[in-house]
Amino acid sequence: MDHLKELLDLALRWLHLIAGIMWVGNSMLFNWLDRNLIKPSDAKPGFEGEIWMVHSGGFYQVEKKQLEPHQMPSVLHWFKWQSYITWMSGISLLALVYYASEGFLVDPSVSKLTHAQGMMVGASVMVGGFVTYDLLWRSPLAKLPKVVTTICFLLLAGVIVLLTQLLSGRAAYIHLGAMLGTLMSGNVFFHIIPSQNELVRATREGRPQEGSLGLHAKQRSIHNNYMTFPVLFIMISNHFPSTYGNQYNYLILAIIAITGATIRHFMNIRFWFRQWLIGFIAAVVIGSVGVFVLVNVKPKGGIAASSNNDGPLANFKTVQTIVRDRCVQCHSATPTDEVWKAAPVGVMLDSPEQIKQHAERIKARVVVGKTMPLANKTHMTDEERELMSRWIYQGAKLK
């Protein structure tokens, strides 16, 4: 059963990655096409532009135009399944990793929620996030896009704070990504594809095409475009505990989300805004500096204040006992954890020499970031972290 779960995890991650690349790639390609189309001066009515490209040893001519009534081609390609498969595989992966097993979803040192309550929070944020977003952009306020955008940003900030207070840092990041992914896929399913269906029906039946439907679909497509970069970061965020495990993880996530959307904005307007590169570079620099400063802020009080050579000499035998009780369930040649059947990233702490070898990694993950044990699954105490801190700063001696 354990091997089956691991294989399922691998298959879902692989599928999620492939479908996501196809979805985002298609989205960026069409976004680029729209901004590079050239409309000849003698273009016929309904002809919006064309573009010539060279790729894979050949020339491509792409046109964008409105079709005449009943002028439907025999073969028409749709772009929707990439979105649906990305969302379905992502939700399945979320359920497998965070819901099917306890330990990753709620950090006991951060929240008092039970595993079941954490699941309810995660599901509520995904469903409630889409419903709230969709109702806002369907409401009369949608005629004031700047107002609705501001409201959405404020609500997003509230969701970030809520998730980081109730779930483990890693789970909070992933659930924000799942919520944004739900918004994006929901836009495709409930707005973009229905609009395209109506466009096809009108053309086949010889009816005039409803222009407002196309504008509505385009609006939701642009929303998806701005959410792409933040979601892509969140997809890889579990590899960077200095972000989700930081005491300011909510600020880091907010900065990265805003920076990603801002970078996407300047990439979108670069075709008509000459100073776009200045804004692009400014967004990259400001966002990078903000994240760098936050990940390097020393934790408040406690361990950070005592992480030096002062204090009683730390006994290695005690350190080894802590490692045995809190770490080797996963970080061992023979893990006993129900999830990890092989030592994560190959780090094993079975012998004194292995513990000393990974002292710097232990300092980064256990002492500074406090991201290990993952979601504090084995309930390591601050006193134990402080003792390990003193042992490392006193030279990580084995005697």
150, pLDDT greater than 80: yes
Nearest-angstrom CA–CA distance, 82 and 25: 10
CB 60 within 8 A of CB 53: yes
Nearest-angstrom CA–CA distance, 94 and 86: 12
Q: Give residue for tokens 């903000």.
A: 290
Average pLDDT of the segment spanning 210-215: 83
Nearest-angstrom CA–CA distance, 194 and 212: 13
Lowest mean pLDDT among 61-75, 114-128, 206-220, 314-328: 206-220
pLDDT at res. 305: 42
Tell me the sheet residues that pair with 58.
Answer: 55
Q: C-alpha dihedral over 269, 270, 276, 281, to 10 degrees?
A: 110
Nearest-angstrom CA–CA distance, 64 and 36: 11
Which residues, at least 6 apart from 36, have a Cβ–Cβ distance to it below 8 Å? 51, 271
- 281 — pLDDT class (breaks 50, 70, 90): very high
Query: Cis (ω within 30 of 0) for the bond into 373?
Result: yes
167 or 337: which carries more pLDDT confidence?
167
- 222 — pLDDT class (breaks 50, 70, 90): very high
311, pLDDT greater than 90: no
Nearest-angstrom CA–CA distance, 278 and 293: 22
pLDDT at res. 300: 62
Candidates 213, 130, 210, 137; CA nearest to 178 is 130
CB 193 within 8 A of CB 84: no
pLDDT at res. 84: 97
CB 261 within 8 A of CB 280: no
- 1 — pLDDT class (breaks 50, 70, 90): low
CB 16 within 8 A of CB 24: no
Ranges of each domain in the chain: 109-295, 302-393
2, pLDDT greater than 70: no
Nearest-angstrom CA–CA distance, 361 and 345: 12
pLDDT at res. 304: 46
Q: Give residue for tokens 């406090």.
A: 370
224: left (phi over 0), alpha (psi -120 to 50) or beta: alpha
What percent of the chain shows pLDDT beyond 90? 68
134, pLDDT greater than 70: yes
Nearest-angstrom CA–CA distance, 179 and 158: 13
Pick among 3.40.1710, 1.10.760, 3.40.50, 2.60.120: CATH of 302-393? 1.10.760
Q: What are phi and psi of 16, to 5 degrees?
A: -60, -40
Sequential DSSP letters for 332-372: SSS---SS-SS-GGG---SSHHHHHHTHHHHIIIIIIS---
108 or 380: which carries more pLDDT confidence?
380
Nearest-angstrom CA–CA distance, 179 and 182: 5
Q: How far is CA 22 from CA 62, 84, 216, 331, in A?
A: 19, 11, 23, 35
Nearest-angstrom CA–CA distance, 53 and 121: 48
Tell me the sheet residues that pair with 54.
Answer: 59
Which residues, at least 6 apart from 387, have a Cβ–Cβ distance to it below 8 Å? 314, 318, 319, 322
Positive or negative torsion for Cα 351, 353, 359, 361: negative
Positive or negative torsion for Cα 38, 44, 45, 46: negative
Task: List pLDDT tens digits, range 227-276.
Answer: 999 999 999 998 888 899 888 999 999 999 999 999 999 999 998 899 99
Which residues, at least 6 apart from 189, have a Cβ–Cβ distance to it below 8 Å? 80, 83, 84
